[in-house]
């Protein structure tokens, strides 16, 4: 009998890719959407990946902020990929706007999975739950590290939400998980080919740079991983016997600076990339703007900081081999251009 997997948040950038990966691997998939209208968006993204949508993909209505629908969503599913989580482009007015749905949604999904007798949940966490609040480290961060929320340095609401949600998930498993197994996938910035206009904040940054809409660039760096590799890692963490109880950092190569990103995209686009600026914003300008901008204020701690992570554990235990960093970036650019009207 074909195994059935529940994917939460199937209309999102990572969720849709997880569905594509699972269907390609021969699983049947049920995915949650917040409203029936979103089902069409999921189908369109899956079909954009070259898969004909049939009875192997079904839908359930459920929301992270409500208990309704979760028992029905997970019924009959052996595995759950809990991908759904809020990820805004800017800093919210109140941190609980992110923390509460991320934490409470994870606990709702885990409770429903346990009660339904599911074998394992794979939670989409983030490098945000690993690499922040620390003094600068010469060594790469690993799965043994946790973001330090009480370090005294400013931590963004998003970083707090991912850290608190993952901590709550592991606490749940230890306290009342029963036979339910948990693994987490902790990606850095997720890029890769888009399947529609619903994509990640990392992709939006690439689009903004590629469109020449940033006349000056902040002095920041970030890690990159391809969304196709993130989906594959979820499936490996779902099925591999040694993955239960483990965290897996998803990163491809070294971090890239915003300036290096702009140079790479500009060179790839040739003459049409001339509009892309590679000039930096002086740090003092951002510091001066911080009192007037919540978003700038939340990112001041990233200026000049290079946080490195290693995916050695995923490579060693799961045999995971990610697409090279620059290839993931350029695949993102090419897919964004393919969506533009002629």
- What's the Cα-to-Cα distance from 144 to each of 12, 141, 166, 278, rounded to whole Å? 28, 8, 13, 36
Q: What is the average pLDDT across 223-248?
A: 98
Predicted confidence at residue 81, as pLDDT, reads: 98
Least confident of 4-13, 122-131, 194-203: 194-203
Predicted confidence at residue 217, as pLDDT, reads: 84
Active-site annotation holder among 162, 207, 213, 274:
162
Q: What is the average pLDDT across 176-184?
A: 98
pLDDT over 90 percentage in the chain: 71
Predicted confidence at residue 128, as pLDDT, reads: 95
Confidence of residue 341 (pLDDT cuts 50, 70, 90): very low
Domain 4-338 has CATH 3.40.50.300: no
Q: Tell how far CA 232 is from the center of its chain.
A: 13
Give catalytic status of residue 204 as yes or no.
no
Predicted confidence at residue 216, as pLDDT, reads: 85
Closest listed residue to residue 59, CA positions, set 45, 89, 80, 38: 38
pLDDT at 286 over 80: no
Task: For the beta carbon of residue 291, count every other beta carbon within 10 angstroms.
Answer: 8
User: Is the entire prediction scored with pTM above 0.85?
Assistant: yes
pLDDT at 289 over 60: no
Q: Which residue has the tokens 């998980």?
A: 177
pLDDT at 283 over 70: no
Cα Rg of the chain, angstroms: 20
């Amino acid at each position: 009998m074909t195994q059935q997997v529940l994917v939460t948040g199937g209309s999102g950038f990572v969720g849709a890719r997880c569905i594509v990966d699972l269907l390609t691997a021969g699983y049947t998939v049920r995915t949650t959407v917040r409203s029936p209208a979103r089902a069409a968006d999921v189908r369109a993204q899956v079909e954009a990946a070259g898969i004909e949508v049939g009875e192997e993909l079904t839908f359930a209505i459920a929301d992270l902020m409500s208990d309704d629908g979760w028992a029905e969503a997970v019924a009959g599913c052996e595995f759950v990929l809990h991908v759904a989580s809020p990820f805004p482009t800017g800093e919210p007015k109140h941190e609980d706007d992110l923390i509460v749905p991320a934490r409470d949604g994870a606990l709702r999904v885990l409770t429903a999975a346990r009660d339904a007798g599911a074998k394992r949940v794979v939670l989409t966490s983030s490098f945000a739950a690993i690499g922040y609040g620390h003094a600068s480290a010469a060594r790469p961060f690993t799965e043994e590290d946790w973001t330090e929320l009480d370090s005294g340095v400013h931590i963004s609401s998003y970083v707090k939400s991912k850290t608190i949600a993952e901590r709550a998930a592991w606490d749940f498993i230890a306290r009342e998980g029963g036979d339910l197994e948990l693994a987490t996938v902790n990606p850095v910035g997720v890029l890769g080919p888009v399947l529609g206009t619903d994509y990640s904040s990392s992709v939006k940054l690439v689009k903004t740079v590629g469109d020449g809409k940033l006349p000056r660039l902040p002095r920041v760096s970030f890690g990159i991983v391809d969304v196709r590799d993130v989906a594959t890692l979820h499936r490996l963490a779902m099925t591999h016997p040694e993955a239960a109880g483990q965290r897996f950092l998803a990163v491809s190569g070294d971090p890239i600076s915003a300036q290096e990103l702009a140079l790479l995209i500009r060179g790839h686009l040739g003459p049409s990339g001339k509009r892309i600026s590679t000039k930096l914003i002086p740090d003092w300008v951002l510091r001066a703007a911080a009192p007037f901008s919540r978003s700038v204020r939340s990112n001041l701690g990233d200026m000049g900081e290079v946080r490195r992570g290693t995916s050695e554990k995923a490579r060693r235990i799961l045999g995971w081999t990610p697409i090279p960093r620059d290839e993931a970036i350029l695949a993102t650019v090419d897919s964004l251009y393919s969506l533009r009207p002629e």
